[in-house]
Structures are given as structure tokens and as C-alpha cells.
């Protein structure tokens, strides 16, 4: 009877512990920076010609989270509905410390990124992982102020479109989600490609307590100030074409002057419009040059070894096909016609497009990225007269500043990103303060020139492939994958596996320490409380080595009371609840 009374007292006290408080126009008309490359923002003009994604290929639930508009102010600002996609089909649960894979949303509709990141979907079952794709604020459906028109209305409403706010969004979202699922102890692994890869790497640095590691694919974190030469992007694109055909390289290089000269003639713009089958008459020859320049850059990014439709439907090794068409035109074919035949590989490989709209932006992504490129994402670009096939020009910050003031009434801050995340000493920052980051790159990708291409430490690793293109490793696996791509992905999986193994070992040791602080070293483990046992992750080969014991809160109280007395048992149970945030679940130590 006395024992029962003590147990009842423990339960009452435990319940008490649980319940105790512990002005622009609504439509932006943007004058673009000459020849400035973009990330996926300009891909929006190609999406309507691409194969629509099949939702059945990737099963997820669409949810919304009331997100804080300004994480760095305590003023009474509105919230907005942030969309995120979630899949828990293979998650082994919080009790087994199932990992959570979070993809850092890019500058666009999150569904498009989700269905183009097959790698994450394919490895999640092997790790027993949950998958989350949060959408970047001001893109897709995640619009502050209720609509895109209001969000993009003026410099005041756009002020909260920053990388820092986006990272805070992801940190708050995953923290709240884990709390709601009683999954505070579940490790988070970050993924991201291109701008999303930059966010993943930065989030690992800024919020190391939120995520145990990050895979940053094609992430140009060094493409700021003069950390890398401003010519490097166009030099890599040019080298991609030169390696296929010197004649092709020279034809493209010569075409710019021909286009400019033709545009200066009385009927020149009309002739260029007809030659390139444009839907509307050209206003300037520069508009055509920028359209062609974008195609060459995206061909380099999407220069995959097999047919794909990530950007546009394209053949395998599309640059090879572009140069084949340019070089194989009959003798006497004009240079403009040769260029049209070549660029059609990108814009019209299927042959179904009747005319081309240079201003097509069906998903409204470009305005958001233009704002970011004018406020904090200031990446210098230039083109060399000697090494580039593009028109030669020097980086001109004054010109960029004028454009930003004209378009957004905002003055760029070219040194802010390097101040916030690290600049010329970024590699030293990684070495000193960072860990568990993979920078994966393919050297055919022009953005690789601004990324980390060598190991910084044992835990800051660069995986570089000579023939890889823009985050090719994130594409779904196919039977056509070359061996070097298969090996790259396998290396990434092994590194992620190592992060998780290290986390589980440290978690076990850390919890032992916390228990010893409260109960003089007594640990309840390996069936002391009950006979039911399980493996973390079930069949998961990555984390199946770690044993857990299933103990209810009553068993913990009884076991603690019998071995250490009522008070120690109560403290032990409270420590368990505080650490795992749940009761009646499988945990590493009861």
C-alpha cells in the first residue's frame, strides 16, 4: 500500500511538472543588367514548355505554417502562410530518432524543386527519414501580405525578402514541427542546390544546433566581391563549348558583332525578329543577345550526360548537339542562321514551338530574384575579351547600382553577405567554426567557379566531378548514370551516414551524462524497465546498431523509485521527459 501511495504521488507530481510553465507599381517593369546570369529564376520562362511534373511520382502532403514576417524585430508585424511539403511515409518515428531531411527552398515554386530533387526521395527510405520541402518566402504560394501583388508592391513590402529571413523561417518551422511531433531529439540533415545550396551551407553555420549537416550542391558561396574572378562564370561556359568544337566557339564569339551591326540597319531589328522566329518585334539588339546568352549559360548548367527536361527538353550532352548543328550547316549558311540552328537545341528541341517570347515569365520568379540581386546577393560578373565567347565587358558596380535604384529604389549592399556569412576568409571560417558540410560540384557547371572545390577539413568536404553539371547529383538516378556519378552519390550517402552515426553515439553519451547528474550514475537500459526492445531505424542499416528500450512513464517511475527512491525516480522521469519531450514512446534510454 505504501508503495502504491508513493507511485500515485509520483504520478501527480509528474503531471504537475508537465503542466507547469517552463512605392513601386504592383507590376514591376524591370530593366535587366546586361548579360548578368541568374540561378533558377530565369528558368521560369522555360517551365511552361517542359514536361509537367507528375505528382504521383513523389507523394507528399501540402501544409501551411503561420510564419513570422520579421524574425529580427519585436514590433507587431503580420504573419504569412508559408507552404511546405512533407512526406513521412518512411520515417521511423521520433522514438527511434528517425532523421529529418530538409531541403532549403530556392527562389521559386517549391513543388517544382521537390519533383526535381529525386536524390533526396531515393535515399530517404534507406535512412528511415522524413522529408520536408519548405517554400522560400515571396515565392510560390508563400506570399506575405496575402498576394504577390501586395508583397511586391514597394521597397517596404519587399524589405523582408532576404536570405537571413529565409533561414530563420526554416529554423522556426523545423523547430515547431519537431516540437509538435515530440521529435526534438531527431537529427536534421539539410539539402540544397544552387541558391538553395548556399542556404543549406549558411544554415549549418548559422544554426548548428538545428541541423547536424548539410549537402550543398552547386552552391556558389564564394561568388561575392572579388573572392573569385568576376570572369570565371562566362569562362567556364566558354570552355564547355570550346572543348566540343573550336569552330563552334568562334562562330558564337563572332555572332555578337553581326547581331549588333544588323540591329543598327534600318530594317535590321525586323530581320533579326524574323530570323530567330520571335513572337514580338525586337526593341533592341541587346534583347536578342541577352536571350542567346541565357541559352548558352543554361546549356552549360544542364549539360547532363543523358536526355533531360529539367530546364527544357534537351538531348544528352546538349552542348555537343548545339555545336554539331552550328558546324554542320551547309557552306554559305549565314552566321545568324547557324546560331539559330544551334540555340534551337535549347529553346525548341522538340520542334513544337512556333515562336519565341523573350519576356515570358509565367511563374513570376524573376522579380523576386531581381530584388535579391539588388539588395544583398551582389555577385560581380564580367566577360574577358581573350578567354570568353561572350561580348567583353567589365563589371561596373555603378551601373548595377543605377539599375537597382531605378527598378526598386534600393541601394545594393555588396559587402553585406560577406559580412553576414564570411567573405575572403570564408574557408577559414568553415575550417574554424564549421563541420559536416558537403560541397558537391561538377566542373562543367559555370557556378562551380564560385563554390568550394577542395576539402577544408575532415568534415568540410568537396566532392568534385570533372564532367558534372548543375547539381546533377540531385537528379533522380537513372540506368544511364555514368559510373562517376554513381560513385559521387554513394560518397554523399556515406558521409551522411557518418554524420548520423556520430550523432547517435554522442546522443547516447550525452544522455548518460545527464542521467548521471541526476541519479548518481544509475542508468536504466537494455530491458531493465521492460523486455521490449527495438532497433533505431528498424531495418535501417545506417542506425540499426543502436539499441533502445521501450519504457512507459509508469515503468520509469516504478523503476526509478525502486532503485533510487521516489524523489530520484521522479527527477529521472522528469529528465527523460525534458530531453525527449514525449512519453510512452521508444527512446534510447528510459
CA 136 to chain centre: 10
Q: How far apart, in whole angstroms, are the C-alpha atoms of residue 127 and residue 273?
A: 53
Task: Report whether 195 contacts 106 (CB < 8 A).
Answer: yes
3-state secondary structure of 412: coil
Task: Report whether 447 contacts 223 (CB < 8 A).
Answer: yes
Cα four-point dihedral sign 111, 117, 122, 126: negative
CA distances from 296 to 185, 280, 299, 349, 456 (A): 46, 22, 5, 14, 32
Q: Nearest CA to 216 among 513, 500, 447?
A: 447
β-strand partners of 461: 438
Contacts of 396 (CB under 8 A, 6+ apart): none
Task: Find the angle CA(208)-CA(210)-CA(213) to the nearest 5 degrees.
Answer: 60
Q: How far apart, in whole angstroms, are the C-alpha atoms of residue 385 and residue 387?
A: 6
Query: What is the number of other CB atoms lying within 10 angstroms of the CB of residue 254?
Result: 13
Task: Report whether 120 contacts 132 (CB < 8 A).
Answer: no
Helix axes 2-19, 553-580, angle to 10 degrees: 20
CA distances from 326 to 200, 300, 320, 321, 440 (A): 39, 16, 10, 9, 32
CA distances from 195 to 40, 168, 227, 407 (A): 8, 16, 17, 22
Task: Report whether 288 contacts 280 (CB < 8 A).
Answer: no
So which residues are the catalytic ones? 194, 445, 470
The phi-psi region of residue 351 (left if phi > 0; otherwise alpha if psi is between -120 and 50; otherwise beta) is left
Query: What is the number of other CB atoms lying within 10 angstroms of the CB of residue 267?
Result: 9
Amino acid at each position: 500500500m505504501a508503495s502504491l501511495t508513493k507511485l500515485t504521488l509520483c504520478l501527480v507530481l509528474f503531471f504537475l511538472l508537465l503542466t507547469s510553465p517552463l512605392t513601386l507599381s504592383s507590376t514591376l517593369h524591370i530593366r535587366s543588367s546586361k548579360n548578368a546570369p541568374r540561378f533558377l529564376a530565369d528558368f521560369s520562362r522555360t517551365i511552361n514548355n517542359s514536361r509537367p511534373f507528375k505528382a504521383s511520382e513523389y507523394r507528399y502532403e501540402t501544409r501551411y505554417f503561420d510564419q513570422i514576417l520579421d524574425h529580427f524585430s519585436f514590433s507587431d508585424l503580420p504573419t504569412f502562410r508559408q507552404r511546405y511539403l512533407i512526406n513521412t511515409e518512411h520515417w521511423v518515428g521520433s522514438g527511434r530518432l528517425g532523421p529529418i531531411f530538409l531541403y532549403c527552398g530556392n527562389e521559386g515554386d517549391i513543388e517544382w524543386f521537390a519533383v526535381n530533387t529525386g536524390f533526396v526521395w531515393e535515399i530517404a527510405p534507406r535512412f528511415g527519414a522524413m522529408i520536408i520541402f519548405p517554400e522560400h518566402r515571396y515565392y510560390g504560394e508563400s506570399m506575405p501580405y496575402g498576394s504577390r501583388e501586395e508583397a511586391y508592391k514597394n521597397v517596404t513590402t519587399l524589405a523582408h525578402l532576404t536570405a537571413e529571413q529565409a533561414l530563420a523561417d526554416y529554423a522556426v518551422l523545423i523547430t515547431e514541427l519537431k516540437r509538435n511531433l515530440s521529435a526534438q531529439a531527431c537529427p536534421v540533415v539539410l539539402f540544397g542546390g544552387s541558391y538553395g545550396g548556399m542556404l543549406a551551407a549558411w544554415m549549418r553555420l548559422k544554426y548548428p544546433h538545428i541541423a547536424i549537416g548539410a549537402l550543398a550542391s552547386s552552391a556558389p558561396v564564394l561568388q561575392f566581391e572579388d573572392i573569385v574572378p568576376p570572369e570565371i562564370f562566362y569562362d567556364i561556359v566558354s570552355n564547355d563549348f570550346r572543348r566540343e568544337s573550336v569552330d563552334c566557339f568562334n562562330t558564337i564569339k563572332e555572332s555578337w558583332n553581326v547581331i549588333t551591326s544588323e540591329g543598327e540597319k534600318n530594317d535590321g531589328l525586323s530581320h533579326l525578329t524574323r530570323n530567330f522566329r520571335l513572337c514580338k518585334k525586337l526593341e533592341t539588339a541587346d534583347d536578342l543577345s541577352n536571350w542567346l546568352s541565357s541559352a548558352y549559360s543554361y546549356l552549360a548548367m544542364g549539360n547532363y550526360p543523358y536526355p533531360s527536361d529539367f530546364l527544357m527538353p534537351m538531348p544528352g550532352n546538349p552542348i555537343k548537339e548545339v555545336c554539331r548543328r552550328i558546324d554542320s550547316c551547309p557552306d554559305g549558311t549565314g552566321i545568324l542562321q547557324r546560331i539559330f540552328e544551334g540555340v534551337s537545341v535549347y529553346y525548341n528541341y522538340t520542334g513544337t514551338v512556333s515562336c519565341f517570347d523573350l519576356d515570358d515569365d509565367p511563374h513570376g520568379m524573376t522579380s523576386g530574384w531581381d530584388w535579391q540581386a539588388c539588395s544583398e546577393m551582389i555577385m560581380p560578373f564580367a566577360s574577358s575579351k581573350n578567354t570568353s565567347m561572350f561580348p567583353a565587358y567589365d563589371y561596373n558596380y555603378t551601373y548595377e547600382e543605377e539599375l537597382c535604384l531605378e527598378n526598386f529604389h534600393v541601394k545594393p549592399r555588396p559587402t553585406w553577405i560577406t559580412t553576414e556569412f564570411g567573405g575572403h576568409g570564408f574557408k577559414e571560417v568553415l575550417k574554424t567554426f564549421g563541420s559536416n558540410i558537403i560541397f558537391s560540384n561538377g566542373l562543367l557547371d559555370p557556378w562551380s567557379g564560385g563554390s568550394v572545390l577542395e576539402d577544408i577539413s575532415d568534415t568540410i568536404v568537396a566532392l568534385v566531378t570533372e564532367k558534372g553539371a548543375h547539381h546533377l547529383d540531385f537528379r533522380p538516378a537513372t540506368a544511364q548514370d555514368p559510373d562517376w556519378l554513381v560513385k559521387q552519390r554513394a560518397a554523399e550517402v556515406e558521409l551522411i551516414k557518418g554524420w548520423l552515426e556520430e550523432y547517435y553515439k554522442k546522443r547516447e553519451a550525452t544522455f548518460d551524462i545527464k542521467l548521471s547528474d541526476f541519479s548518481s550514475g544509475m542508468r536504466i537500459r537494455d530491458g531493465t524497465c521492460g523486455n521490449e526492445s527495438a532497433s533505431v531505424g528498424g531495418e535501417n542499416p545506417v542506425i540499426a546498431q543502436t539499441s533502445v528500450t521501450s519504457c512507459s512513464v509508469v515503468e520509469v517511475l516504478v523503476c526509478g523509485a525502486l532503485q533510487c527512491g521516489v524523489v530520484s525516480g521522479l527527477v529521472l522521469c522528469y529528465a527523460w521527459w525534458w530531453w525527449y519531450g514525449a512519453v510512452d514512446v521508444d527512446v534510447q534510454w528510459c
